[in-house]
Structure 1
């Protein structure tokens, strides 16, 4: 059982890091959108390519534009925090019970 416990701990750790990195990518994209970036810059294109599918889905289902501000990054960040607190913690607790 310790192998499964270690596997779950590893999945939880990797998931936690991936969610944290994606949260920072969302924050950086939101900050960059305030300064009217060059759309041909490879970094800007990468940020838009990696975040736009998630943000588009949020915008499609929830009209989260308030006073000209797009609030979809806030909704995504709250979703990431929820996943970190619920899913990652659940995986860690499950792993500790198996070990």
Structure 2
């Protein structure tokens, strides 16, 4: 049972990493540091957005419009931290 919790915890860690990469790449696009015409950059961007957009889009629909500020990644990041804390402190001791 611990292996399942460890795997779930690791998947959540990887998702946090993909979320951070997506946020940083979005900033780099806006400031013109990298461009999407590079095939490697475009491939990384497409993979990251295809993994994060299904989670971020419903949250964007719920949150009020803040102009150019997107708070949905912060909400997802806090949700992941909550899930990891719940798994580590509450769920694992209760089921082992």
Q: TM-score, normalised by structure 1?
A: 0.78
Ranges in structure 2 where 5+ consecutive residues have no aligned partner: 30-34
Residues 15 and 88 in structure 1, CA contact (< 8 A), matched pair in contact too: no
| Corresponding residue SS for 1:70 | coil
Match of 1:10 in 2: 3
Aligned pair partner of 1:24 in 17, 23, 30: 17
Match of 2:60 in 1: 59
Pairs aligned (count)? 88
Counterpart CA distance in 1 for 2:47 and 2:89 is 30
Match of 1:35 in 2: 28
The runs of at least 4 consecutive aligned structure 1 residues that moved more than 4 Å come to: none
Q: CA deviation at 1:71?
A: 1.1
Ranges in structure 1 where 5+ consecutive residues have no aligned partner: 1-6
Q: TM-score, normalised by structure 2?
A: 0.80
When the two chains are superposed, the root-mean-square deviation of aligned CA atoms in Å is: 1.8
Residues 9 and 87 in structure 2, CA contact (< 8 A), matched pair in contact too: no
